């Protein structure tokens, strides 16, 4: 629909321009010389033949004697001979004074000048019209881009991130464009999904805690049973009793393994996150950073042009995780530096907060590991773990270091 409206708009402007051109040309061709002025001038010259001071000066004409001499010439480009006048299709009239033919008066044919004048007007009109068209087209393009294209792209990118499980970055709501109400609804959906996921996580955490307690409670009596069976096995001399004590010991070991499996399956997520890297331009990295930095803490960011081996959705989630952590725990400006080195695009994202302890630096990328500064702030300790997992699945990695001040996360993104 947008393309059709644009085409119709251009066609209307071109038709208007063509109509003006045809109108001007038709007017130039049909406009005739002022015959009244020509007749008055001819009459005056006849009555005052030989007295050039009395000749009119408003028209371009010449007076030629019977022998071909030029008796008078007024204006530029007038014909100075009969043959020249015939070639130019000038108006030639006889001069009769006292009933005798005295000579000829030649009026310059200015049709060509008038057509040239109209051509200049047409050229000016076409130029002005073209400039106006270009201005209108640019204005229309900018308007459509601001009110339709850009909001739609943002909405599309937001939907992709939500579909990929990224619920932390909000969608900026702007009710001035056509998608205003939709963006608000989408962000409410994101907030509801995030709350639902938080509630689900709380329930899972409670389940994990319960399973951990049960496993601990079960391990104690199982250990007692195993110890008792081993002691009974040693002190009895009855072969059948030994066989039974040994069976109890084996079953106790099996029960211990089952409890451990139950505990591990509840604590560790069994679902593997799919990462599908392929060739992309470095513009995807720049877009990911800009989308993640929705508070514009990093300002203008420059990324070298190159080809990278990435999954666009997962690299977006990776930068989202790092920027969300910086917003949450540092709440400072963010500095982003990028360079090409050793077959990688290295992107350093640094804040200027308190950082973490040196002991935490080496384990902060681990699953469920959180720094001491996370107390009282929501989170599961999965952000850097997932970021590291995503980058390793794309033949890259991340490195976390303390700076002075702040914390830096260095992305190693493989180039192609």
Distances (CA, A) of 188 to 138, 185, 297: 35, 5, 24
Handedness of CA 373, 378, 382, 383 (dihedral sign): negative
Please give the backbone phi and psi of residue 20, each rounded to the nearest 5 degrees, phi first. Answer: -65, -40
Global pTM reads 0.45
3-state percent breakdown (helix, strand, coil) of the chain, nearest 5: 55, 15, 30
Judge contact between 292 and 140, C-beta under 8 A: no
Q: Please give the structure tokens belonging to residue 260.
A: 């451990």
Q: What pLDDT, on the 0 to 100 scale, is given for residue 373?
A: 66
Sheet containing strand 344-350, edge to edge, reads: 335-341, 344-350, 407-414, 397-402
Q: Considering only CA atoms, which of 358, 350, 283 is closest in space to residue 323? A: 350
Angle, CA 291 vertex, CA 413 and CA 364 arms, to 5°:
55
* DSSP one-letter code for 415: B
Residue 378: other Cβ atoms inside 10 A: 10
Q: pLDDT averaged over consecutive 10-residue blocks of the chain (416 residues)?
A: 65 70 61 76 92 89 93 91 91 91 91 73 78 81 77 76 73 63 72 81 72 62 79 88 84 72 56 81 93 88 95 90 89 95 95 88 79 65 86 94 92 96
Residue 174: which of 194, 191, 154 has the closest Cα? 154
**Among the residues of 312-412, which ranges form H helices?**
312-325, 358-361, 383-393
Q: Whose CA is closest to 312, among 345, 284, 291?
A: 284
Please name each of the domains of the chain with its CATH number: 35-109 (no CATH), 180-267 (1.10.287), 278-414 (3.30.565.10)
The secondary structure of residue 80, as a DSSP letter, is -
Measure CA of the first residue to CA of the last residue in the chain; give whole Å.
39
pLDDT at 6: 64
Q: State the alpha helices, DSSP H only, in 68-179.
A: 82-87, 111-144, 150-163
- Cα 244 to chain center, whole Å? 75
Cβ neighbours for 413, distance < 8 A, ≥ 6 positions apart: 285, 308, 309, 310, 315, 344, 345, 346, 347, 391, 394, 396
Pairing state between β 91-97 and 307-310: unpaired
Q: Which helix (H) or strand (E) holds 3?
A: helix 2-30
């Amino acid at each position: 629909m947008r393309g059709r409206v644009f085409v119709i708009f251009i066609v209307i402007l071109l038709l208007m321009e063509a109509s003006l051109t045809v109108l001007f040309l038709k007017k130039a061709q049909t406009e005739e010389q002022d015959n009244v002025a020509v007749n008055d001038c001819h009459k005056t010259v006849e009555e005052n033949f030989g007295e050039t001071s009395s000749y009119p000066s408003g028209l371009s004409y010449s007076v030629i004697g019977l022998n071909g001499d030029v008796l008078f010439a007024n204006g530029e480009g007038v014909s100075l001979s009969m043959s020249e006048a015939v070639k130019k299709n000038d108006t030639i009239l006889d001069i009769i004074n006292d009933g005798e033919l005295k000579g000829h008066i030649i009026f310059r044919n200015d049709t060509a000048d008038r057509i040239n004048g109209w051509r200049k007007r047409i050229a000016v009109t076409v130029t002005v019209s073209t400039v106006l068209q270009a201005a209108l087209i640019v204005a229309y393009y900018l308007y459509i881009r601001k009110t339709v294209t850009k909001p739609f792209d943002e909405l599309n990118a937001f939907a992709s991130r939500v579909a990929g499980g990224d619920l932390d970055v909000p969608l900026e709501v702007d009710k001035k464009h056509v998608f205003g109400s939709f963006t608000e609804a989408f962000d409410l959906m994101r907030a509801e999904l995030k709350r639902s996921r938080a509630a689900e996580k709380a329930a899972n955490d409670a389940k994990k805690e319960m399973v951990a307690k049960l496993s601990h409670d079960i391990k104690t009596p199982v250990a007692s049973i195993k110890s008792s069976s081993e002691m009974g096995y040693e002190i009895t001399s009855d072969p059948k009793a030994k066989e039974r004590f040994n069976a109890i010991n084996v079953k106790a070991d099996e029960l211990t393994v089952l409890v451990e499996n139950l505990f591990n399956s509840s604590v560790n997520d069994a679902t593997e996150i799919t990462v599908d890297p392929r060739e992309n331009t470095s513009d995807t990295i720049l877009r990911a950073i800009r989308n993640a930095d929705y508070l514009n803490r990093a300002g203008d960011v420059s990324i070298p042009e190159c080809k990278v081996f990435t999954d666009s959705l997962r690299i977006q989630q990776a930068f989202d995780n790092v920027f969300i952590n910086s917003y949450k725990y540092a709440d400072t400006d963010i500095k982003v530096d990028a360079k090409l080195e050793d077959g990688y695009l290295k992107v350093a994202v640094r804040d200027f907060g308190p950082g973490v302890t040196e002991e935490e630096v080496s384990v902060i990328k681990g699953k469920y590991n959180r720094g001491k500064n996370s107390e009282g702030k929501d989170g599961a300790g999965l952000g850097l773990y997932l970021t590291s997992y995503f980058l390793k699945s794309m033949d890259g990695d991340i490195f976390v270091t303390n700076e002075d001040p702040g914390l830096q996360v260095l992305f190693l993104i493989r180039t192609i």
